[in-house]
Structure 1
Amino acid sequence: MESTLWWQRGTIYQIYPRSFLDSNGDGIGDLEGIRQRLGHLVALGVDAAWISPFFPSPMADFGYDVADYCGVDPIFGTLEDFDRLIAEAHRLGLRIILDFVPNHTSDQHPWFVESRQGRDSAKRDWYIWRDPAPGGGPPNNWVSNFGGSAWQFDPASGQYYYHAFLKEQPDLNWRNPAVVDAMMAALRFWLERGVDGFRVDVIWHLIKDGAFRDNPPNPGFSHGQPDINRFLQIHSTDQPEIFRIITRMRETLAAYGGDRVLIGEIYLPVERLVAYYGERLAGVHLPFNFQLILASWNARGIARLIDDYEQALPEGGWPNWVLGNHDQRRVAGRIGSAQARVAAMLLLTLRGTPTIYYGDELGMPDVPVPPALAQDPWERNEPGLGVGRDPERTPMRWDASPKAGFTTGEPWLPIGPEREINVADETADPRSMFSLHRRLLGLRRAHEALSLGQFELIPTTGDLIAYRRRQEKGEGGTEEVLTVVLNLGSRDAELDLGQGALGHGALGHGAVGHSTGAGWRCLVSTHLDREGAEPAGPIRLRPDEGLVLAEG
């Protein structure tokens, strides 16, 4: 696999910069804080840091409302701070991926300020302006992802502008070639500073239906759901013309070397998700696969979605897996701390590129944020629906001190009470969640079967998931085979891999297995108290346990 690229072998680590480390005591994380803690990423064993937006912004949506694509907001530092950060990362062997937010700008971006000067503005067509509907009101029924109409009326010109998110985030018109050129120039600005790739925010939103047709009602909508669910986003997202834009992005990155990675944020069903690899794999390198975040946590459903995803991938398409991000509840909050360990083993042993969300390597939980302290604009727009994203964005916990070593000031969001969940204590604890992640990432580096090998799902029943990872080794044709067995249940289970099948006894779990008869060695258990040769007979798993096994 000499031709494989770093992002195929590697693991990505997402940093939400407001919450990683505050170096100047203002309660908000910054670029210098990230630079100071790059050693944590090296010790963990990841290969790249994806940094959420730090560009100049009024912070209506905490950096996802960009006012300048080629700068650094003063709360995060300076361009010189970024240059020092990327130089230090590269010295340590880490790659840097930036968050690119091309669908919309801030309403304070100079482009939009000029665009709203009037219908004759030179940049009027850089954004999406429409006349009112016949009889008045918004041009169509499109809804903002943060609730309410996606159209904002501008009294001065008598037109509406479109915003898929906040009214302070007007959407750019990507059908305008001048917009495309300007955004490619922004990519080049950062590529010339040495960045190794981009994660593209809401990439499936970039092109809208040219006729601005109404979206159809969602037959599954019910009271209590977010407003965005009222309609199926058929015409406001996922249009076929998006692929010519992605091609331009790929060409822009390719001019700076073939190992730059383009990742797309795409919340679509798997059959549409994989379309973003593009014809002849000319789309994004990695359309983010969020199925593990969105799925119910049960073995049969998880096994099915893994198999469906593998079957749906185009030939040559490289898979990827994600357990958490800045928009979704933390994995420990969704499935509990015990199963979060099993989920970590799943994430880091499946075929494809894994992404770890900061703090998940510690088992950080969601932190309840009282309404009076809520920061997230979605929560403020639609209170009471549980859509707030503050709980998963709380500060990183570096030590057990009251402010968790994150800041000397007042943190922008609450820290949370679980003092024992922190880097210092978990680094010293060989059975901690951090130690488990480090062991698994070390295993990925040591065994190409885990990072690059073929994937074969073993049929199972009950609460078990099992699969093999295979990789040829050297010119002699020898093959390394590792077997992963995961117990997603709260009772003991066993698997007879030696004889090839397990009868359905009192434990009620079964699987078809395979072995050369050489016995088994446990390379790592999620419990971190089990290593070496296994007793003869079926492999026994305790509740909430996962194993990585080698033959022999």
Structure 2
Amino acid sequence: MSEPAATYPWWHSAVIYQIYPRSFASSKGPIGTLAGVTKNLDYLRDLGIDAIWLSPFYRSPQHDAGYDVADYFDVDPRFGTLADADEMIQAAHERGLKVIIDLVPNHTSEDHEWFQAALAAGPGSPERERYYFRDEPNNWLSIFGGSAWTRVKDRADAPGSSYADDEQYYLHLFDSSQPDLNWDNPEVADLFDRILRFWLERGVDGFRIDVAHGLVKDPALPDYAGHVQMVQGDDGERPPMFDQDGVHEIYRRWNKVLAEYDGDRMLVAEAWVDPPERLARYVRDGEMHQAFNFDYLVAPWDARELRAVAEQVMATFAAVGAPTTWVLSNHDVVRHASRLGLRETGKGPNGIFATDPQPDRELGLRRARAATALMLALPGSAYLYQGEELGLPEHTSLPDKVREDPAFFRTNGLEAGRDGCRVPLPWRAHEPGYGFSPSGETWLPQPEDWDIYAVDTQLSDPTSTLYLYRALLHLRKAWQLGEADFVFLPDVPEHVVAGVARTQTGAEYLVFTAIGKAAPLPAGWQIELATDDLTESGEVPADVTVWASRA
């Protein structure tokens, strides 16, 4: 008698679609809205996903596209209202979709009432203990460029204010408009308990935790010789601002809060942590439920490296009983349809200027389709970034005058920044703004040739990337690949990544990716799906993935 199939919570193998609200769809103007999301939920349901994750839509001055939160308990009027959020959550649930929202606990906006009170209260006040105010700064650098410290009296709003002569500095690992919270202060923990409960009671199913590895700092705030973006220094030591052991106490507390609510609510960590054994600590029992697997995202398009990364991460997460996550694109990196078309195919630059070497668009898309098919065959949970199902490339010719990413400004234009992956989506090929908004307005300009990527164009083309994603997601669910046991095949050419997924029903499926040159498929398999046409001899061509069942 066979053993009963294991049952898992929904997030264990979910395909989760990231919505960047300002660029998904608008119901009224140049910036996307929550009502625009609600209007297009049928499109997302038909795509075959299980959940949506929305980047921040809280009240914010938008100095960093909403990751500078002024009020965690309200929706920014640019995106709509709390009623719009409630309607979106309900409408998603009616379609069988879960809803995850971003939580930004490392820092607030400078407009947050706490920080305004801290400025007004002055040095030595309890209000300043909620942040990191110091008489002397250390040498830390901002991830967005420049110093991670700003002197209060040097702020643009200081002249004529009560703090015009204030010599103290405050810490901001990101922009100067994003002061870091001091998690050693119990008021901070109490605030975020309230924030979690506020949104859980409105029906959200989980939270993506921004900068999850950065909340706790070494209390001594020592100087650090490495670059702040490094999760592990050249000497093997962790930076004093990242991956401190104290963060785990926070997530154990949050896990208990989520456990008070029905429905398998979840936490997923954005934690750029190395090595994988350190990342696995975030998903131990009683802490986070998932953590983004960035090692896979930044791996180059190389068979040996992709397999090595996948095997290591799968084994490391399995050791703590957690599912692996997979992701190739998000709002912080060059889109993988372009990144994989560059000469160097790892993480890639922080944005691409028109004067930089340009991606090979055809090769990039071919590889992106293959990479996605490989990723979706692996067990665990997969994250998709809006527009990747259309094969959208990075916008590499944005004029500098329209850029908004603080990374561009704080590096004095040395980095293009992340605006190129955040351009509003094309919905209808022959409408102004490709149907993004009723007026045709878009907060960033779209490329002139994006009609070929528009949703309505691709829906009429069975060879389109949108059709491919729908087919992949349908088979992934039908074959139960997210919960399968997966083993990489040992005896394959060195330019091939191949493995067999064995499902709980005993069925076996093959994923086979040829990288750089063609390769023959092993005997005994019947091809069910290929990301591009096969060769005349039946071989799997270069940069193509196939899914196959037992012949």
- Would the TM-score normalized by the shorter structure come out above 0.5? yes
Q: How far apart are residue 230 of structure 1 and its match?
A: 11
- Structure 1 229/29 Cα, relative in aligned 2: closer, same or farther at 3 Å? farther
Q: Distance in 2 between matches of 1:233 and 1:151?
A: 20
Q: 1:487 aligns with which of 510, 514, 517?
A: 514
1:294 to 260, 279, 298: 298
Instruction: Work out the CA distance in 2 between the residues paired with 1:104 and 1:60.
Output: 13
Runs of 5+ unmatched residues, structure 1: 133-137, 474-478, 499-518
Partner of 2:181: 172
> What TM-score, normalized by structure 2, do the two folds share?
0.88
Partners of 2:281 and 2:39 lie apart in 1 by 36
Larger mean Cα displacement after TM superposition, 383-392 or 288-297: 383-392
List alignment gaps of at least 5 residues for structure 2. 154-162, 341-363
Paired letter, 1:68: D
Does structure 2 retain, via aligned residues, the 8 Å contact 1:286–1:318? yes
Taking the aligned partners of 1:548 and 1:539, their CA distance within structure 2 comes to 14
Q: Does 1:5 align with 2:15?
A: no
Q: Are 2:109 and 1:106 equivalent residues in the alignment?
A: yes
2:446 counterpart of 1:415? yes
Residue 207 of structure 1 aligns to which amino acid in structure 2? V
1:472 partner SS? coil
Deviation at 1:384, TM superposition (A): 4.3
1:526 and 2:528 matched? no
Matched, 1:344 2:372: yes
Q: Is residue 405 from structure 1 mapped to residue 435 from structure 2 by the alignment?
A: yes
Quote how far apart the aligned CAs of 1:347 are.
1.7
Helix, strand or coil for the counterpart of 1:547? strand
Contact 1:276/1:287 (<8 A) preserved: no
The Cα of 1:131 is off from its aligned counterpart by 1.8
Letter in 2 for 1:259: D
Of residues 145, 155, 162 in structure 1, which corresponds to 2:143? Answer: 145
CA positional deviation for 1:381:
1.4
> 1:295-349 CA deviation, whole Å, 9 max, x = no partner?
2111111111111212222241110000100000001011101111101101211
Distance 2:252 2:226 in 1: 32
Q: Residue 432 of structure 1: which of 449, 456, 464 is its match? A: 464
Counterparts of 1:357-372 in structure 2, within 5 Å, are 357-368=385-396, 369-372=398-401
Paired residues of 1:209 and 1:235 also in contact (CA < 8 A): yes
Alignment equivalent of 1:60, drawn from 43, 59, 63: 63
1:409 deviation in Å? 3.9
Relative to structure 1, the CA distance from residue 354 to residue 129 in structure 2 (aligned partners, 3 Å threshold; closer, same or farther) is same
Query: What does the per-residue CA deviation read over 1:18-70, in whole Å, with 9 as the maximum and x for residues that have no partner?
Result: 0001111x210000000000111111000101000000001110100000000
CA deviation after TM superposition for structure 1 residue 463, in Å: 2.1
Determine if the alignment matches structure 1 residue 452 to structure 2 residue 483.
yes
Structure 2 residue 272 is matched with structure 1 residue 267: yes
Q: Is the 8 A contact 2:374 2:512 kept in 1?
A: no
Give the distance between the partners of 2:55 and 2:508, measured in 1 at CA: 37
Counterparts of residues 208-357 of structure 1 (less than 5 Å): 208-217=217-226, 234-257=239-262, 259-279=264-284, 281-313=285-317, 314-335=319-340, 336-357=364-385
Q: What are the superposed Cα offsets for residues 403-453 of structure 1, whole Å, 9 maximum, x if unpaired?
A: 1110224211111123111111112211110111101100111112x1201
The residue type equivalent to 1:146 in the other structure is: F
User: Residue 343 of structure 2 aligns with which residue?
Assistant: none
Assess if the C-alpha contact under 8 Å between 1:99 and 1:201 holds in 2: yes
Distance 1:301 1:121 in 2: 52
User: 1:66-145 maps to which residues of 2 (within 5 A)?
Assistant: 66-117=69-120, 118-132=122-136, 138=137, 140-145=138-143
CA contact (8 A) 2:13 2:379 kept: no
Number of paired residues?
A: 504
Contact 1:293 1:328 (C-alpha < 8 Å) held by counterparts: no
285-294 vs 389-398, greater mean Cα deviation: 285-294
Question: Which of 369, 380, 404 is matched with 1:375 structurally?
Answer: 404
Q: Deviations for 1:468-504, whole angstroms, at most 9, x for unmatched residues? A: 111232xxxxx11111101122x32214x23xxxxxx
From 197, 207, 212, the equivalent of 1:198 is 207
TM-score by length of 1: 0.87
Q: Please tell me the root mean square deviation across aligned C-alpha atoms, in Å.
A: 2.2
Are 2:489 and 2:500, in contact at CA under 8 Å, matched by a contact in 1?
yes
2:349 matched residue in structure 1:
none
Q: Is the 8 A contact 2:52 2:98 kept in 1?
A: yes
Q: Matched residues in 2 for 1:440 and 1:75: separation?
A: 35
Partner AA of 1:426 in structure 2: Q
1:16 aligned to 17, 20, 27, which one? 20
Q: Give the residue type in structure 2 aligned to 1:351.
A: P
TM-superposed CA distance for 1:539, in Å, is 6.6
Contact 2:134 2:168 in 1 (8 A): yes
Measured in 2, the distance between the counterparts of 1:387 and 1:201 equals 22
Alpha-carbon distance in 2 for matches of 1:431, 1:386? 36
Q: Which amino acid aligns with 1:154?
A: V
Cα distance, 1:119 vs. partner?
A: 2.6
Q: CA deviation at 1:520?
A: 2.2
- Residue equivalent to 2:353: none
Identical positions, percent: 41
Aligned to 1:393: 422
Listed as ranges, the matches of 1:176-187 within 5 Å are 176-187=185-196
How do residues 456-475 of structure 1 correspond to structure 2 at under 5 angstroms? 456-459=487-490, 460-473=492-505
1:441 aligns with 2:473: yes
2:197 to 177, 188, 196: 188
Instruction: Give the counterpart of 2:52 among 49, 52, 57.
Output: 49
Alignment of 1:482-521 (within 5 A): 482-489=509-516, 491-495=517-521, 497-498=522-523, 519-521=524-526
In structure 2, C-alpha distance between the alignment counterparts of 1:409 and 1:439, rounded to whole Å: 31
Tell whether the 8 Å contact from 1:522 to 1:547 is kept in structure 2 after alignment: yes
**Distance in 1 of aligned mates of 2:478 and 2:277:** 34
SS at match of 2:72: coil
Task: Provide, for residues 369-397 of structure 1, a one-character-per-residue CA deviation record: whole Å limited to 9, x for no partner.
Answer: 11121111111211443351000000111
